[in-house]
């Protein structure tokens, strides 16, 4: 790793059996040129000694908030400011609960609260503890607060149970961190990512419209993930009740035609375009100027609809290299997911399609979780795929963006 990508990593270790794996993680981070300072909770020291981590990192390990000697060296606020990344591995259920509630009752939680660093944790606990609603709530809260949760893995546990709760292997944690760091610095930084999100509204008269159930959550999660990587983000949004992710430029639109105009304009200066909006396929040919009145004696009403412009297809038809960003589309299907997704990839001339099965309960429209299948083609036409299991939309957004940025970088070279 180049020194430009070298990070100042505060490695937090809490008290779980997986703590012994953190020694290997510290080693990997050091070997790859990162600066590493370790903070251990009291519980962690029952599993691994500070001396081991000191030997591996070449730095004194901090264990206490109220240690006058250590504070005289680098005070805890200074340490919080020093770190550009806080990585907690393992993160126990108790530590997650304390962080989710903003506690500052030991050195590690205090540093997390005081630091503006990027925050990542690898949870590790017994499978029953991970399955508890309280832990799920805490995990959800932490994600909302900007934490990235890596894992946990599933499999046999130290206690003999089998299920999700194992800490990811140090190599896997290192690899995610490495990819995110490298991506952030070599690819996403200063890139302009344009995202369409939410539904469109097609007026029938001044008080009625045609629309759909899109909540905008997936598009907004993509915007958040892009901002985390340091990208410039333009979010072209239909009417949704979500706050604008901090740092995004939000362009509010109502109709598909308005969305198309904004998209055409911003796509010309975009590196990546993600069409996440649920655009109404049709609009009223002639919306009434005044409120439509019921007609006495008539049982029905016939509306004539005409086709809306296909926003993503129009931009994707631009010749490569001429204001044509890397194009990522979505395909919401209820059957034959992969075939329809492939068809969309070809028909709309896209570079990547994110396909999801909207017939599955608890996933997709309006909810916080989603699963997806990514399909993409390289410049030679070779197709690749990646299946993404059900997970919170923000996690899914990070993985989609990650893959899109990698493929976009490859396609440029």
Radius of gyration of the chain (CA): 24
Site residues for ligand CTP, 253-272, by CB under 6 A, read 256
DSSP secondary structure letter of residue 278? B
Instruction: Tell me if 408 contacts ligand CTP by CB under 6 A.
Output: no
Pick from 262, 254, 300, 251: nearest CA to 280: 254
| Options 12, 16, 123, 329; binder of ligand CTP; rule CB under 6 A | 329
| Options 123, 330, 401, 408; binder of ligand CTP; rule CB under 6 A | 330
Instruction: Tell me if 106 contacts ligand CTP by CB under 6 A.
Output: no
Please state the φ and ψ torsions of residue 100, each to the nearest 5 degrees: -65, -25
Contact between 336 and 350 under an 8 Å Cβ cutoff? The reply is no
Using CA of residue 217, residue 222, residue 226, residue 228, what is the dihedral sign?
A: positive
Instruction: Tell me if 331 contacts ligand CTP by CB under 6 A.
Output: yes
Contact between 277 and 200 under an 8 Å Cβ cutoff? The reply is yes
Stretch that binds ligand CTP, among 46-54, 242-250, 277-285, 291-299 (CB under 6 A): 277-285
Site residues for ligand CTP, 192-251, by CB under 6 A, read 196
Name the minimum Å distance from CB 333 to ligand CTP.
7
Site string for ligand CTP, 13-52 (x = CB under 6 A): ----------------------------------------
Tally helices (H) and strands (E) across the chain.
14, 19
Torsion of CA 244, 344, 355, 180, to 10 degrees: -60
Q: Which is nearer to ligand CTP, 36 or 401 (CB)?
A: 401
Name the minimum Å distance from CB 196 to ligand CTP.
6
How many Å apart are CA 228 and CA 399, to the nearest integer? 12
Q: Which is nearer to ligand CTP, 41 or 255 (CB)?
A: 255
DSSP secondary structure letter of residue 211? -
Instruction: Tell me if 275 contacts ligand CTP by CB under 6 A.
Output: yes
Catalytic residues: 159
How many Å apart are CA 183 and CA 94, to the nearest integer? 32
| Options 271, 310, 351, 357; binder of ligand CTP; rule CB under 6 A | 310
| Options 108, 262, 311, 394; binder of ligand CTP; rule CB under 6 A | 311
Q: Which is nearer to ligand CTP, 174 or 273 (CB)?
A: 273
Instruction: Tell me if 375 contacts ligand CTP by CB under 6 A.
Output: no
Please state the φ and ψ torsions of residue 132, each to the nearest 5 degrees: -65, 140
Instruction: Tell me if 170 contacts ligand CTP by CB under 6 A.
Output: no
Contact between 282 and 307 under an 8 Å Cβ cutoff? The reply is yes
Instruction: Answer left, alpha or beta for residue 322, where phi above 0 means left and psi between -120 and 50 means alpha.
Output: beta
Cis peptide before 64 (omega within 30 of 0): no
Tokens of 185: 């610095």
Stretch that binds ligand CTP, among 29-37, 60-68, 284-292, 330-338 (CB under 6 A): 330-338
Q: Which is nearer to ligand CTP, 181 or 350 (CB)?
A: 350
Instruction: Answer left, alpha or beta for residue 166, where phi above 0 means left and psi between -120 and 50 means alpha.
Output: beta
Stretch that binds ligand CTP, among 38-46, 129-137, 327-335, 401-409 (CB under 6 A): 327-335
Name the minimum Å distance from CB 363 to ligand CTP.
16
Residues facing 202 on adjacent strands: 210
E strand or H helix at 215: none
**Count of CA atoms in the C-beta half-sphere (13 A) of 128:** 3
Q: Which is nearer to ligand CTP, 186 or 334 (CB)?
A: 334
Name the minimum Å distance from CB 235 to ligand CTP.
13
Site residues for ligand CTP, 280-299, by CB under 6 A, read 281
| Options 188, 277, 375, 397; binder of ligand CTP; rule CB under 6 A | 277
Q: Which residues bind ligand CTP (CB under 6 A)?
A: 196, 256, 275-277, 279, 281, 308, 310-312, 329-332, 344
């Amino acid at each position: 790793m180049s020194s430009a990508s070298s990070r100042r990593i505060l490695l937090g270790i809490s008290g779980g059996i997986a703590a012994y794996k953190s020694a290997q993680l510290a080693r990997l981070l050091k070997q790859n040129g990162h600066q590493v300072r370790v903070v251990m909770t009291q519980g962690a020291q029952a599993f691994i000694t500070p001396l081991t981590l000191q030997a591996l990192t070449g730095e004194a390990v901090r264990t206490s908030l109220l240690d006058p000697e250590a504070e005289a060296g680098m005070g805890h606020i200074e340490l919080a400011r020093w770190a550009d990344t806080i990585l907690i591995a393992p993160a126990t259920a108790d530590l997650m609960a304390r962080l989710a509630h903003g506690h500052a009752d030991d050195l590690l939680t205090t540093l997390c609260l005081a630091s503006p660093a990027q925050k990542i944790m690898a949870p590790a606990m017994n499978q029953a503890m991970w399955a508890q609603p309280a832990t799920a709530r805490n995990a959800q809260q932490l994600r909302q607060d900007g934490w990235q949760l890596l894992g946990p893995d599933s499999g046999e546990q130290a206690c003999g149970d089998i299920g999700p709760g194992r800490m990811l292997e140090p190599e896997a944690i290192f690899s995610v961190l490495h990819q995110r760091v490298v991506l952030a610095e070599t690819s996403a930084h200063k890139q302009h990512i344009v995202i369409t999100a939410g539904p469109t509204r097609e007026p029938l008269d001044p008080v009625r419209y045609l629309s759909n159930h899109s909540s905008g959550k997936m598009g907004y999660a993509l915007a958040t993930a892009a901002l985390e990587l340091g990208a410039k983000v333009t979010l072209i949004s239909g009417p949704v009740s979500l706050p604008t992710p901090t740092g995004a430029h939000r362009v509010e639109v109502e109709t598909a035609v308005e969305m198309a105009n904004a998209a055409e304009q911003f796509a010309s200066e975009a590196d990546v375009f993600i069409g996440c909006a649920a655009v109404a396929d049709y609009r009223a040919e002639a919306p009434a100027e005044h409120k439509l009145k019921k007609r006495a004696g008539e049982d029905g009403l016939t509306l004539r609809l005409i086709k809306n412009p296909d926003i993503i297809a129009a931009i994707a038809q631009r010749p490569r290299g001429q204001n044509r960003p890397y194009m990522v589309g979505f395909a919401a299907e209820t059957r034959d997911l992969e075939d329809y997704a492939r068809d969309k990839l070809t028909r709309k001339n896209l570079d990547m399609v994110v396909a999801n099965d909207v017939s599955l309960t608890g996933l997709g429209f309006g909810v916080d979780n989603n699963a997806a299948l990514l399909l993409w083609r390289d410049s030679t036409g070779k197709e690749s795929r990646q299946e993404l299991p059900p997970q919170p939309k923000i996690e899914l957004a990070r993985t989609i963006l990650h893959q899109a940025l990698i493929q976009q970088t490859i396609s440029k070279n």
